Amino acid sequence: MSMLITPLGRWHQQNHGRMVEFAGWEMPVQYTSIVEEHLAVRAAAGLFDISHMGRLSLAGPFATEFLNRLVTIDVSRMRAGQVRYALVCNHEGGILDDILVYRLDAHWELVVNASNRLKLLEWFEHTAGYAAVQLADVTTRTAMLAIQGPHAARILQAFGLPSASALKYYTCAAFRGPSGDECLMSRTGYTGEDGFELTIPAQDAETVWQRLLDVGRDFSINPAGLGCRDTLRLEAAMPLYGHELSEQIDPLSVGLGFAVHFDKQDFCGKAALEQIRRDGPKLRRVGLILEGRRIARENSVVLSGDHSIGTVTSGTFSPTLQQVIAMALIPAELQEPGLNVEVDIRGSRVSARTTPLPFYRRAG
């Protein structure tokens, strides 16, 4: 099966993007270096092609009720223009995906992980009420760009979106693209910095991308790949599906209880999650700071003395903090910060200590 290519695939190849396969898509992992792009986002701005993310449109008079059965938040509370983080769980409370829910005037938009798009479409199709809604996969008809960093709002203003700076966190607004079609701007982010996302027709992708780079030159913008997107999100302790999140992991164990609204009527996985809440999660997600410069990769064992107590879910060398950091799942009773542990890195034990999350928080 051939890889999918985003509307910006040609641009990436022509501009020295190092392309890799990611969730069935050909994506740029970097242009210059991961560290250089990472530091550019922290200091100024980075422009990311995130068109691989799944984009689903949901409409119809019963769309709200249908969506409420699927996600852990109460979407009936949302107003037009709001964006919310939510989870889709299986009947056992495991996470099928973490998604963003956009409430628009006449319909809903869902942004889902690329690796889970087809799985979720099938899951939705087998959910009660599916026949009464209109669900469309618009992923390949659109492009999605993310501009992240302290200069992001000023770059969008220079681009011609003066409303960017007034847009509140986790809200969205429509605007007209180069072809006159309606586009969507949101302010969420996945790097720990101020961030915006633009969803535009596929045919406008190169025009918008290049213009953002042109007007952003005065603000030191850089194109950025998936490599630094991962190091940035890890510093900000944002979970990644397939690492901190999976069908075997529940939201309460990884600190996502804020996105589970137990006071709403039934949703898939609610009974199982209520039981976990009553009993208390057995595992917790924690931060680790490691000595030295060896990186603890996913599934590295966390040890206390001679006992294995958990596993690393993500690890990297932090360009911002100049330390090796990781997230891990360990027993809930051991979650307090300052616990001295060791991590097995390819047969060698490396000293580490548990630390509060996130590792990095932007000023202001």
- What is d(CA 208, CA 144) in angstroms, rounded to the nearest whole number? 10
Verify that 72 and 142 share a domain, yes or no. Answer: yes
Nearest to 254 by CA among 288, 283, 232: 283
Residue that finishes a domain, picked among 233, 252, 281: 281
For the chain, the domain total comes to 2
3-class secondary-structure state, position 229: helix
Verify that 232 and 328 share a domain, yes or no. Answer: no
Verify that 46 and 152 share a domain, yes or no. Answer: yes
Residue 364 lies in a domain: no
Model pTM? 0.97
Residue 319 lies in a domain: yes
Domain of residue 58 covers 1-281
Write the CATH number for 252.
3.30.1360.120
Write the CATH number for 331.
2.40.30.110
- What is d(CA 76, CA 64) in angstroms, rounded to the nearest whole number? 6
- What is d(CA 72, CA 86) in angstroms, rounded to the nearest whole number? 6
Question: Residue-wise pLDDT tens for the chain (364 aa)?
Answer: 689 999 999 999 999 999 999 999 999 999 999 999 999 999 999 999 999 999 999 999 999 999 999 999 999 999 999 999 999 999 999 999 999 999 999 999 999 999 999 999 999 999 999 999 999 999 999 999 999 999 999 999 999 999 999 999 999 999 999 989 999 999 999 999 999 999 999 999 999 999 999 999 999 999 999 999 999 999 999 999 999 999 999 999 999 999 999 999 999 999 999 999 999 999 999 999 999 999 999 999 999 999 999 999 999 999 999 999 999 999 999 999 999 999 999 999 999 999 999 999 998 7
H helix intervals, the chain? 9-14, 34-43, 63-70, 117-125, 152-159, 205-215, 226-235, 270-279
Verify that 165 and 31 share a domain, yes or no. Answer: yes
- What is d(CA 262, CA 243) in angstroms, rounded to the nearest whole number? 25
Give phi and psi for 66, each to the nearest 5.
-65, -45
Verify that 257 and 310 share a domain, yes or no. Answer: no
In contact, 288 and 249? CB cutoff 8 Å = no
Residue 295 lies in a domain: yes
Tell how far CA 363 is from the center of its chain: 21
Verify that 27 and 82 share a domain, yes or no. Answer: yes
Residue that finishes a domain, picked among 216, 248, 281: 281
